[in-house]
Chain A
Amino acid sequence: MKNAKSFFLNGEKFFTSKTINLLDVITYFNYSSSLLVLEYNNFICSRENWTTIYINDQDRLEIVTIVGGG
């Protein structure tokens, strides 16, 4: 695969050969209407910046939400 990039989402490895940004990732997993926070390489990344940040090889994403507990 040319231009293949691997990235980690919640600890799982994914591959893409496309140029994709954070919003693309969110959309792909159907997270668009979810209550969530996205951490991009250990930085909390707010919604406004999702279209401006593109996935690079070895990027680590954490997408978290609130669940019952506490």
Chain B
Amino acid sequence: MKDIIDPLKIGNKSFSSRLMLGTGKYRTSKDAVKSITTSECEIITVAIRRLPTNINQDNINFLKSLNWNKLWLLPNTAGSQTAEDAIRMAFLGHELACQLGQEDNFFVKLEVISDPKYLLPDPIGTLKAAEFLVKKGFTVLPYINADPMLALHLEDLGCATVMPLGSPIGSGQGLNNLSNLQIIIENANVPVVIDAGIGSPSEATLAMELGADAVLLNTAVAQSKNPEQMAKAMHLGVKAGRLGYLAGRMEKKYYATPSSPLNLISK
């Protein structure tokens, strides 16, 4: 097995891509498949829903046709309003992962949202569900507001990552709470995945430059004018941000320092 350079470690798995992609809101399933492939992401999130009685749906079939030897399923408990809902969905998600041949996949993106306008995650429900699911052996990736204390609690409970939002889901507002995100990154001993609200490649790059371990985005690609191109841009943006972070940026100064020598100026 090839050694991964600068691996992203979540639970007991290692990934080479620090870009996670959601699979919703694409105009066509062709867009979705091309975007996922071009982005070079490995982790993709899906929602869990009832099978409709008329099942010739593009929306469902395209997921089955993806390469599940290369991709890692991250079932989302989206739609859950309470801890109990989310817990049930997590178990369903694992079963679905098994159907795709990923019997060792107990990953769950824990989303407990009862707010229909801003889709803000409920911290109490999230904490309750996280505690239960961690005890049951799940690798829990909780979606939260950028609350540094909540992030610490979830890490203490045994969550595999924390996933603070940049701004509301689907809003494309970018990173609205830089100082809280920085505090979370500073304090965390688990990977920090900035999830929600990223709208452009520079915003993804900024997230990585802050020191985030990964980003998760969906609408930014799915609802762009050219999703496949945007997926490529996001792939490059995340790589640039990560490299820039590891390289260590220059010091910011309030005054200027010349780039050219001050002496031997010919007059």
Which A residues lie at the B interface, using CB under 8 A?
A: 10-12, 29-31, 34-37, 39, 44, 46, 62-70
Question: B residues near A, CB below 8 A?
Answer: 22-26, 29, 32, 44-51, 53, 55, 59-60, 62-64, 73-76, 78, 91-92, 95-96, 99-100, 109, 218
A29 and B75 CA atoms in complex are apart in Å by: 25
Output the nearest chain B residue to A11 by Cβ-Cβ distance.
B50
A12 to B218, CA, bound (A): 32
A30 CB → nearest B CB, Å: 6
- Is A65 a contact partner of B96 (Cβ separation < 8 A)? yes
Q: A64-B92, A66-B46, A68-B63 are in contact. Are A34 and B51 (CB under 8 A)?
A: yes
Partner among B47, B74, B95, B109 whose Cβ is within 8 Å of the Cβ of A67: B47
Find the A residue at minimum CB distance from B63: A66
Total A-B Cβ pairs within 8 A? 97
- Complex alpha-carbon distance, A52 and B39, angstroms: 44
Expressed in whole angstroms, the minimum distance between the Cβ of A15 and any Cβ of chain B is 15
Is B51 within 8 A of A65, CB to CB? yes
Determine the residue in chain A with the shortest Cβ distance to B32. Answer: A68
Given contacts A35-B100, A44-B91, contact A66 B47 (CB under 8 A): yes
Complex Cα distance, B98 from A44, in Å, reads 13
Per a CB cutoff under 8 Å, which of A31, A34, A46, A65 touches B49? A65
> Is the Cβ of A29 less than 8 Å from the Cβ of B53?
yes
Closest to A46 in B: B95
A67 cross-chain contacts in B, Cβ below 8 A = 24, 46-49, 59-60, 63
Contact between chains at B44 and A37 (CB < 8 Å): no
Residues in chain B near residue A30, CB distance under 8 A: 55
Expressed in whole angstroms, the minimum distance between the Cβ of B205 and any Cβ of chain A is 22
CA A36 – CA B96 in complex, angstroms? 7
Q: Which B residues are CB-close (under 8 A) to A34? A: 51, 55, 60
